[in-house]
Amino acid sequence: MQTTGNTLLVTGGGSGIGRALAEAFLALGNQVIIAGRREALLQQVAQANPGLHYVVLDTSDAADSQRGVERLLADYPQLNAVIHCAGIMRGERLVDGPTELEATVATNLIGPIRLDGLLLPHFLKQPHAAIVTVSSGLAFVPLALTPSYCATKAAVHSYSQSLRYQLKDTAVKVHELAPPYVQTELMGQRQANDPHAMPLKAFIDEVMGIFKAQPDAEEILVERVKPLRFAEVNGGYAEFFRNFNDQMAAARAGE
């Protein structure tokens, strides 16, 4: 992905990784539009970042996605890139019966796939374009405390590979960003202040460095996520999975 000369849409751009990436790309001179469901929050972020644009968009809703893309393409005809940062992560106890997983699946998986389908006809007409999917280190080693989230991120990884292959002879590049555990409010204030999580600024700095140094990289992997990404390749996966989940469960139990 080129780090300059883009008109870039960032979903989930009102907070966390989405906001931080939007601000980083804006600082490089790109035209950036953040999207989300909470207009007051989007306005606040835009006011804090002169030149940043926003659009209210619920990517989990099919009709709103259709309306939103039509509005975006009318207002920003040079749109040529999207970063899918909208996401939901919830703890689930499967032994308690059915969980409220519909919102997680709709936001994390169906939303970005549908949005890509709406944007691709336009992207294919651009001189260069990029789709950045956002999976997770947990796509490769699931956290048993959040099974639906991990399942959607594993599916995003699979989808990214298929999308990349189908677009291999076009000017549309597909990059998969797989974050580690980062200090954001994805699961509330505890995560945002957890010293075991990677500081958000350090994560964004490393990600932007990868984009600049390796614009054709298929996977954007900071060093901290590599033990998860390559756990199966490196061998001893079953033990790694068990130890990882035992440690996380113990940390939660001690709260």
Note down pLDDT in tens along the chain; length 255 residues.
Answer: 999 999 999 999 999 999 999 999 999 999 999 999 999 999 999 999 999 999 999 999 999 999 999 999 999 999 999 999 999 999 999 999 988 899 999 999 999 999 999 999 999 999 999 999 999 999 999 999 999 999 999 999 999 999 999 999 999 999 999 999 999 988 888 888 888 899 999 999 999 999 999 999 999 999 999 999 999 999 999 999 999 999 988 887 755
| 1 inside domain | no
| 36 inside domain | yes
| 2 inside domain | no
* Domain residue limits at 152: 7-253
| 187 inside domain | yes
pTM for the whole structure: 0.95
| 234 inside domain | yes
| 223 inside domain | yes
CA atoms within 13 A on the CB side of 139: 26
- Alpha-carbon span 6 to 13, nearest angstrom: 16
Please count the structural domains in the chain: 1
149 is catalytic: yes
- Alpha-carbon span 109 to 236, nearest angstrom: 29
- CATH number, residue 17: 3.40.50.720
| 165 inside domain | yes
In the 8-state DSSP scheme, what is residue 58?
Answer: -
| 160 inside domain | yes
Of the residues 54, 76, 149, 165, which is catalytic?
A: 149
- Range list of H helices, 87-199: 102-105, 111-123, 147-166, 189-192
CA atoms within 13 A on the CB side of 153: 26
